[in-house]
A and B are shown apart, each in its own frame.
Chain A
Amino acid sequence: GENVEQHPSTLSVQEGDSAVIKCTYSDSASNYFPWYKQELGKGPQLIIDIRSNVGEKKDQRIAVTLNKTAKHFSLHITETQPEDSAVYFCAATGRDDKIIFGKGTRLHILP
């Protein structure tokens, strides 16, 4: 069935360093890949998304890359700051107007 794998489950990086989260998906028909950030006690918030017709998208310190051949995509956060600490979810479109979420990555930014 449809599946999205996300790694790592936990990531600690020094403030100012870069963080990379990787996801793979199983459905070759997937064509939209959003990333969500969830802070404690809050709902997930869309931070960036990419469609299958582009290979990379950047928004300030955040970038996402997509490799459709290998069916994987990644989130890159540069110059990390304390407020980047949160849980990040990748997702990919599945069938019937649904998106399939990864299990999340807990990102800790160390002072």
Chain B
Amino acid sequence: GAGVSQSPSNKVTEKGKDVELRCDPISGHTALYWYRQSLGQGLEFLIYFQGNSAPDKSGLPSDRFSAERTGGSVSTLTIQRTQQEDSAVYLCASSADRGAWQPQHFGDGTRLSIL
């Protein structure tokens, strides 16, 4: 069956440019999470969507980062005016329902490199 799909798998861009990263969650999953993973590091929470509720944006590192989720399905993470410290792997995960005890299913991530 289809898992979580992320695109692009790799993105190289120049400092100062805007980037958009896409996540297609598992069909029917109501919860969607974005994480950032820097080289050799753990997973840093960025943002959480649950159904039609207002997203939990508490992990976004600056106002250059934003995300939306249209129709309760596909999500886009946007980074404006990229900086070199934004270079990382951005991971998306979805789960069947709200609640941290719901297993999260991850995509393979987008590897973002800022030159």
Contacts and interface: CB of A to CB of B under 8 A. Distances in A.
Interface of A: 6, 31-32, 34, 36, 41-46, 49, 51, 89, 93-94, 96-104
Most chain B CB neighbours (cut-off 10 Å) among A31, A44, A102, A103: A44
Nearest to B45: A98
14 contacts: A32-B101, A34-B104, A42-B108, A43-B107, A43-B108, A44-B43, A94-B100, A96-B58, A97-B56, A97-B98, A97-B100, A98-B45, A98-B48, A104-B41
Contacts of A99: 100, 104
Given A32-B101, A34-B103, A43 B4 contact: yes
Contact of A89 (B4, B40, B43, B48): B43
Contacts of B48: 96-98
Contacts, number: 56
Nearest to A96: B56
Interface residues of B, number: 25
Nearest to B111: A41
Interface of B is mostly: loop
B34 to A, nearest CB: 12
A89 B41 CA distance: 10
Contacts of A43: 4, 91, 93, 106-109
Contacts of B98: 97
B3 to A, nearest CB: 9
Contacts of A46: 103-105
Contacts of A100: 45
Nearest to A52: B101
A98 B56 contact: yes
A103 B41 contact: yes
B76 interface: no
A93 to B, nearest CB: 4
A81 B107 CA distance: 25
Contacts of A98: 33, 45, 48, 56, 100
Contacts of B43: 44, 89, 101
